[in-house]
Amino acid sequence: MALEKTSKIYPQKGACIIEKLAYSFHLGSDKNKKPISRIKAKSNISKTTSLSNNAIQNLKQLSRAEKHNYRKYDNDDEDVIIIKGTSNLVKDVKDVYIKELEKSKLEYNNKQTRDDRKIVDYFNHISNSSKIDLACEIIIELGNKKYWDTKDINFKKKMTTVYEEQVKDLEMLLPSFKVSSAIIHYDETSPHLHIVGIPIQNGNKNGMSKKVGKSTVFTKESLKVIQDKMRSMCIEAFNNEYHLNLNLKEKKKGRNKDIRVSDMDNYMEFTEKIEKNKKILEEANRKNEKLNIKSEERMETISNLKTTKINRNSYILSLKEKEKLEEYIKEVKTITVGYKEFNEFILSINKIKDDFEKQNEKIKLYKENERSLSIKGLELNKQLKIKEECIDNLEKENYNLKSIVYDLKDRFKKLIKFLNKKLFHRSHRDEKYKEIVKDLSDADIFTKNDLRNIYTKENELER
């Protein structure tokens, strides 16, 4: 018979594996922040630099982004979905410049006394600048290669609805960022969204009152807030579209942390129970070590047994050795029962832990959904407040305009009466006013109906 050494028993890890999705919100920028690198990129003949840089600083880089985003370099755009803009990124960006900034440029030019200070084309002006980026690109991705590897193209393309919502959410959260283009790439493992837009800085005292301002719109603080809100709304849109209940992976170091299972009060109670049972585990392991030593002794005894003279297959065992073996077997049985009970306890605790983890994931999911709805509600309330203020201002303006219209009507009536009096009343008749009326008619100040009122006896002063 062979005796094996027993080993230490430790609490088993929970078998609960809950799938979570990674979320990425990346704003293109200069990784090399030295001013000289930006100047090189702007002033080079190629308008680029070998320094690591994925910002859109000028027309050359915008054209390169267009070729990449729309797959124009290989004429393969089958799996490129445009959800905002056209297939001409340069034109889309120029259109935003004209729509959002042309008026401000004209106002600025009107204030200039010297022609050399006027801006002819603001798009080219920024493209040639060594300090300001021409446009900004944001790349959004939900889920990593490992998640999407097993999914077919039809499953992936349901992300179109999710990313459409992300564009709308970004425009709602950041109205100062004017989106020119938004496209989805399905030709790579993970579906991802490219957004190109212009960050607009308003209320400037120097230069143009409204101009491009990436550093003002995208600060370190504002980016954290935007990323935090966008990720909550993204997972909600994903679960709604796919009818799933997945959560996001925890944010990396330096970002806001999600709620952990270990923060839950009930879980902590069970963790304390495990800690209390550590002594039991230590005692069990001590006994196990002792048993291992005895096992070696019993193995040595067995190997040294002598065969009987009558039968070589039979061994001689002394009474003392027999008692030691019986004692050993008894200890093995005792420890085995204890280990079994302890393992059952550990398994029950791990099951409870798994249940809590599952429940916590549900809680986190509900909180993310609630947070997403709360964000949208707050933003809609802000927009509603702005609209209400706008309505109040329009009502005031309308009231003022009505007052002006009533005043003008009253004055015009008086003018008609005055002309009637001068043309038809005996005591005030003056032929020279006929020429005045004719001149007013020729200048389109009087209509035919106005003339009819003047030359009709019913409209005389006596009426």
pLDDT digits (tens, 9 = 90+) for 27-42: 987 655 455 555 555 5
Q: Collect the ranges in the chain with pLDDT lower than 50.
A: 1-17, 33, 44-52, 254-265, 458-463
Same domain, 88 and 181: yes
Same domain, 305 and 238: no
Residue 406 tokens read as 């009533």
C-alpha 219/C-alpha 27 separation (Å) is: 11
Same domain, 348 and 408: no
Same domain, 345 and 408: no
Same domain, 154 and 222: yes
C-alpha 31/C-alpha 29 separation (Å) is: 6
In a domain, 378, yes or no: no
- In this predicted model, what pLDDT tens digit does every residue of 197-236 receive, in sequence order? 999 999 888 889 999 999 899 998 889 888 888 888 898 8
In a domain, 411, yes or no: yes
Decide which of 229, 258, 287 is a domain's last residue.
258
Same domain, 183 and 332: no
Give the per-residue pLDDT at 14.
Answer: 42
Number of structural domains in the chain: 3
CATH classification at residue 163: 3.30.930.30
Q: What is the extent of the structural domain holding 126? A: 20-258
Decide which of 225, 258, 291 is a domain's last residue.
258
In a domain, 379, yes or no: no
Same domain, 175 and 73: yes
Same domain, 128 and 251: yes
pTM: 0.56
Same domain, 268 and 253: no
Decide which of 299, 333, 365 is a domain's last residue.
365
